[in-house]
Amino acid sequence: MDADGQHDPADIPRLLAKLETGYEMAAGARGQGSQASLGRGLANAVYNRFASLMTGHRIDDLTSGFRAVRAEPFRRFLYYLLPNGFSYPTTITMAFFRSGYPVGYVPITAGQRRAESQSHLRPLRDGVRFLLIMFKVVTLYSPLKLFFPVSAAFLFTGAGYYLYTYLSMGRFTNMSALLLTAAIIVFMMGLISEQITALNYREGDR
């Protein structure tokens, strides 16, 4: 749980009870009234939706730091995967889903920070970092889900441009070659990233 007074210790038994129903991790899902600001609330909604699409599982609060987790699976990722910083909830959530561990959510209400507690987040600096979380979600779960649509976009654009130039000018242009080559390169990068991700998770099993 966070140390700024937002989380109610009375919710801990509810998280533990969720674990007893068969989940390996139970996270507190903050409601609309628990968000620090409208901007953060919208950002978290985007993260939750995006991560749910990537994993095929409903994720109610990707970035919540209030959670209970069984020690044995958590230790798998502690030394080689988890970062030092506020993005650990995102990382551990995606790692659990990627490894097939069930994750459950318990609705909670997060209070206001104590007066002496200051947020370490800065809108400009951390806004970019939060956007990177969305890419981290993909790379932690299935990189090919990001690389394949980009590759397909290059492929169809290149093929369409080639068809246009062939019909209008009767030739194959450098731009068509560049777009089609980019499609192949991006797809191969996705395959390599997918294999690296799989190897990392297998390494954690040892």
Measured CA angle at 97 (ends 60, 148), to 5 deg: 100
Residues 121, 155, single domain; the answer is: no
Given pLDDT bands bounded at 50, 70 and 90, which one contains residue 15? Answer: very high
Residues 119, 152, single domain; the answer is: no
The candidate with the shortest Cα–Cα distance to 122, out of 47, 50, 40, is: 40
Question: Out of 1-10, 116-125, 140-149, which region has the weakest mean confidence (pLDDT)?
Answer: 116-125
Decide which of 19 and 205 is more confident: 19
pTM score > 0.75 for this model? no
How many whole angstroms separate alpha carbon 145 and alpha carbon 131?
Answer: 17
pLDDT attached to residue 85: 61
Residues 14, 111, single domain; the answer is: yes
Residues 6+ apart with CB under 8 A from 159: 176, 180
How many whole angstroms separate alpha carbon 99 and alpha carbon 78?
Answer: 14
* Total of domains in the chain: 2
Residues 106, 150, single domain; the answer is: no
pLDDT attached to residue 146: 83
1 domain residue, yes or no:
no
Q: Strand pairing partners for 157? A: none
**pLDDT tens-digit map of 16-44:** 999 999 999 999 998 766 655 566 777 77
Q: Residue 31 gets which letter from DSSP?
A: -
Residues 111, 169, single domain; the answer is: no
How many whole angstroms separate alpha carbon 102 and alpha carbon 61?
Answer: 15
Average pLDDT for 102-107: 93
**pLDDT tens-digit map of 48-100:** 888 888 888 889 988 888 999 999 888 887 776 676 665 788 888 888 888 88
53 domain residue, yes or no:
yes
How many whole angstroms separate alpha carbon 171 and alpha carbon 42?
Answer: 48
Residues 108, 150, single domain; the answer is: no
40: Cα within 13 Å, side-chain hemisphere: 17
Examine the fold and report which residue of 129, 157, 183 is the final residue of a domain before the chain moves on: 129
Rounded to the nearest 10 degrees, the angle between the axes of helix 38-55 and helix 123-141 is 10
136 domain residue, yes or no:
no
Given pLDDT bands bounded at 50, 70 and 90, which one contains residue 116? Answer: very low
Radius of gyration of the chain, Cα coordinates, nearest whole angstrom: 21
Residues 122, 198, single domain; the answer is: no
pLDDT attached to residue 196: 82
Decide which of 199 and 131 is more confident: 199
**pLDDT tens-digit map of 125-143:** 656 766 676 676 677 677 8
**pLDDT tens-digit map of 149-174:** 999 999 999 999 999 999 998 888 99
Given pLDDT bands bounded at 50, 70 and 90, which one contains residue 117? Answer: very low
137 domain residue, yes or no:
no
- Report whether 27 contacts 61 (CB < 8 A): yes
Residues 72, 28, single domain; the answer is: yes
Domain residue limits at 118: 9-129
pLDDT attached to residue 162: 93
Average pLDDT for 43-48: 81
